[in-house]
Structure 1
């Protein structure tokens, strides 16, 4: 079931964010993520976050208007369709979605492309010096 994050779930969501970033972005110094953790955790308090949770949180997505700040899935629940479920949840209520992904994060980039996102621009992220792509999905309206 996908629903808005509850305040008491902040710790779990923050830990999933940190663990996922450390694992998926081994090409970035781990201190970048550790140093940003307190700020991100603070931002989560007022962010639009949706979790996939039954008895426990399996994953979550952060959203800023039509921009996906990130999709993160607890390691033990990966490759079970949680990310796709979160993407489809957002697609129901949006005409267009965008996000940024590091080019070296090949699995994530392939996941988004497989789910209908296309590269619109590429740039170098200032904080990390890493190449990233802006991916965009647009709802196709027939008729």
Structure 2
């Protein structure tokens, strides 16, 4: 692997767990400043023991773990890139990888996270409906990408 080029590979829990959880907390706190402080850290165990084992998780490595995507069936349940690595194409690379072999991919994004909403729209995701997140009570959008649209 050329260290100048990022690579997407399957998540290795025994090697990647600490990095993935660290990225999840830091990126969540940055992107979701409207959620009370401590909310994400209080859910680390749940993320590690419940959510990640249920998902198909891929990591972006450049040269170490710099981001991850978690997909459950055809739903992009999580996409997070380390704050200091954002804006370098890793999120796009992870989404493109998640779309491989799928006819469609859905996701939910907080309404207040306008940067993420714009990012997903640039990648061809279309807002479908506005819902309320069951954990935070915050409004969010369900978005859908379909192969062949656009």
TM-score between the two structures when normalised by the length of structure 2:
0.88
- Given candidates 63, 84, 88, the residue that maps to 1:55 is 63
Structure 1 stretches lacking a partner, 5+ long = none
Instruction: Quote the RMSD (CA, aligned, Å).
Output: 1.3
Deviation (angstroms), 1:40: 0.5
Deviation (angstroms), 1:70: 1.3
Deviation (angstroms), 1:87: 1.0
- Given candidates 20, 26, 34, the residue that maps to 2:27 is 20
- Given candidates 98, 102, 105, the residue that maps to 1:97 is 105
TM-score between the two structures when normalised by the length of structure 1:
0.93
Paired position in structure 2 for 1:106: 114
With 54-63 and 41-50 compared, the bigger mean Cα shift is at 41-50
How many Å separate the matches in 1 of 2:103 and 2:54?
24
Give SS of 1:120's match: strand
User: Is the 1:102–1:131 Cα contact (8 Å) retained in structure 2?
Assistant: yes
- Given candidates 45, 51, 63, the residue that maps to 1:38 is 45
How many Å separate the matches in 1 of 2:37 and 2:70?
21
Deviation (angstroms), 1:46: 4.6
User: Is the 1:10–1:45 Cα contact (8 Å) retained in structure 2?
Assistant: no
With 44-53 and 88-97 compared, the bigger mean Cα shift is at 44-53
Alignment coverage as a number of residue pairs: 141
Deviation (angstroms), 1:91: 2.0
Deviation (angstroms), 1:12: 0.5
How many Å separate the matches in 2 of 1:2 and 1:33?
25
How many Å separate the matches in 2 of 1:77 and 1:108?
15
Deviation digits for residues 10-42 of structure 1 (CA, Å, limit 9, x no counterpart): 111011001111111000102221221110011
